[in-house]
Amino acid sequence: MSDAHTSTIPPHKQAQWSHIWHLSWPIMISNLSQPLVGAADTAMMGHQPDPAGIGGVALGTLVVHFIVMLFSFLRMSTTALTSQAYGKRDDAAILRPLQRGLMIGLGAGLIALLAHDPLISLSLLILPASEAVEGYMVEYIAIQLFALPAILMNTALLGWLYGLQSMRIGMVQLLLVNGLNILLNFVFVLGFDAGIQGVALASVIANWVGLLCILPFVHRHFARYLAGLLRLKDALTQGGWQAYASLSRDILIRTLLLYLVEAILLSSGGKTGDVALASLQVTMVIFFMIAYALDGFAHASEALVGTAVGRDDKALLSQTIWRATSLAFLVSLIITAFLWLAQPVILSLLTSQREVIAYMDGLWVYVLLLAPLSVLAFQMDGIFIGAALGHALRNSMMMSFATFVGSLWLFGYFGDAPLAFPAGALDGVVIAFILYLAMRGISLTLFLPQLYRRLSTS
């Protein structure tokens, strides 16, 4: 299961087609396990007598996921800086991003625990619901916050493993946490009738057990790098904080804009009626599944591009970008063909409502465009994260966000406009989203010359 052999792969073989695939497929598999946890949480509460439990889990999960999303830079920054140090073969620099990520993750998680009451009060203010739903939400958040330090430290550790091109150990970590979470859901809710408390407790135990179990496993494979893990004074006083903070700041801005796009998307879709909104939710579920699959190549690109930048190897960088993007585009076409051929089966699995299925028939042409027109966005994200060019990621997302909002205005979702669609039509919302995805890829591609100028070798 070890990926430690990647350190022995010669530079000219790092961007081989087989090596890129070797790095990508474990991420694709582990990513696809993520939505199963949410499905299990919902299913467990769906079998309880009070339907308000489903809403409580949904709102509580939204709050916790938002906090985790704010700290997504723990994975991305750690991957970028670790992969570049790995390319330079600088053992001390390889360890520092992990130390800093673990410290920030633990500290942020503990602060969230201490700020328990203000967090819950803010959640109730922003997400008002019925008294029953709010009660369940408060119960869920109160317990789930104990998982937060482990979740954030797991995030940093995963970024470090990706930076070392150790995707299979990262897969073990995610499958262990997600698999145990699902199993404990059944044990606590169906076995002990623990209700929403059992759902939250399953997450707490799974994340802490996953962290404590994977650490010895990681140490066995990477003892060379982890010898000074507990020498935190070095991590606090040595250089590199400015680069870490700058990259993390830009990734945070990018992530907030990405989250805002999704919020505006659902808000705009909500104005088109209940059936249209349900159809939009089905479309987004399919999109997220596409993203989970294509992210495998994006994460592989992060590691390989970071290694190329660390080695100052322009040829390796060029090969990585071309081959990883080509493989990702090929897979996007396979996904598109599957969506085209399996439309009736996919829709029957996602909904039994005939009105939604009929509405989706008119939207399916846009669904077929999602994979090929979003693949460049995912790939360029991975490339620029690996290169630690945070300002490019930030500026590209600003341009894409402006494109999205401008398109919605053009299509009449903020009032009268020349290209407004008829009332109840969802076409403009989905087209605006596709244009936003395309702009993310195109705008980042325009920054590629800046990336190549950072490297001096041919």
Residue 214 sits in the same domain as residue 299: no
**Which tokens in the block code for residue 367?**
């669904």
- For the beta carbon of residue 349, count every other beta carbon within 10 angstroms: 9
Same domain, 304 and 259: yes
Examine the domain organization and report whether 282 and 271 are in the same domain.
Answer: yes
Of the CA atoms within 13 Å of residue 394, those in its CB half-sphere come to 13
CB atoms inside a 10 Å sphere around CB 367: 21
User: End-to-end distance of the chain based on CA atoms, in angstroms?
Assistant: 35
- E strands, 80-230, are none
Per 3-state DSSP, what percentage of the chain is helix, strand, and coil (rounded to 5)? Answer: 85, 0, 15
Q: Which residues contact 313 (CB under 8 A, 6 or more apart)?
A: 11, 87, 455, 457
Residue 397: φ, ψ to 5°: -65, -35
Per the CB < 8 A criterion, the answer to whether 78 and 164 are in contact is no
- Only one residue has tokens 């509460």, namely 45
| Residue 216 domain flag | yes
How do residues 293-312 score in pLDDT, each as one tens digit? 999 999 999 999 999 999 99
User: Which of 173, 205, 239 is the last residue before a domain boundary?
Assistant: 239
Q: Is 117 helix (H, G, I), strand (E, B) or coil?
A: helix
Q: pLDDT tens digits for 266-284?
A: 777 767 777 787 788 788 8
Distance in angstroms (rounded) separating the CA atoms of residues 385 and 255: 12
Task: Assess if residue 213 is contained within a domain.
Answer: yes
pLDDT at 11: 57
Residues 6 or more apart whose CB falls under 8 angstroms from that of 420 comprise 411, 412, 428
Instruction: Report which of 147, 115, 129 is spatially closest to residue 37, judged by C-alpha positions.
Output: 147
- Confidence band (pLDDT; 50, 70, 90) for 258? very high
Instruction: Identify the pLDDT of residue 190.
Output: 87
For residue range 47-74, what is the model confidence (pLDDT) as tens digits?
A: 677 778 888 888 888 899 999 999 999 9
Q: Are residues 419 and 322 in the same domain?
A: yes
Q: 390 lies in a domain? A: yes
Residue range of the domain that includes 272 = 242-458
Whole-number Å distance between alpha carbons of 379 and 295: 8
CA–CA gap between residue 70 and residue 91 (Å, rounded):
29
Distance from C-alpha of 190 to C-alpha of 421, rounded to nearest angstrom: 47
307 shares a domain with 209: no
Could you tell me if residue 4 is inside a domain?
Answer: no
- Pair 351, 314 in one domain: yes
User: Last residue of some domain: 239, 256, 287?
Assistant: 239
Q: Is the pLDDT of residue 422 over 80?
A: no
Tell me which of 239, 265, 283 is where a domain ends: 239
Alpha-carbon dihedral of residues 337, 338, 342, 346, nearest 10 degrees? -130
Say if residues 116 and 148 touch (Cβ distance below 8 Å).
no
* 260 and 291 share one domain: yes
Same domain, 216 and 97: yes
Report d(CA 206, CA 212) in Å as an integer.
Answer: 10
- For 64, residues 6+ apart whose C-beta sits below 8 A from its C-beta are 141, 144, 145, 147, 148
In a domain, 1, yes or no: no
Question: Which amino acid appears at position 370 of this protein?
Answer: L
Q: How confident is the model at residue 10 (pLDDT cuts 50, 70, 90)?
A: low
Residue 171 identity: M
Q: What pTM was computed for the model?
A: 0.89
Number of Cβ atoms within 10 Å of the Cβ of 206: 24
Residue 148 CB neighbours (<10 A): 24
Residue 3 domain flag: no
Total of domains in the chain: 2
Please tell me the predicted confidence (pLDDT) of residue 278.
Answer: 79
Residue 10 belongs to a domain: no
Q: Residue 413: which residues within 8 A CB-CB, separation 6 or more? A: 268, 271, 428, 429, 432
Query: 345: buried, middle or exposed (CB in 10 Å: 19+, 13-18, 0-12)?
Result: exposed
pLDDT tens-place string over residues 349-393: 877 778 888 989 989 999 999 999 999 999 999 999 999 999 999
Does residue 9 lie within any of the structural domains?
no
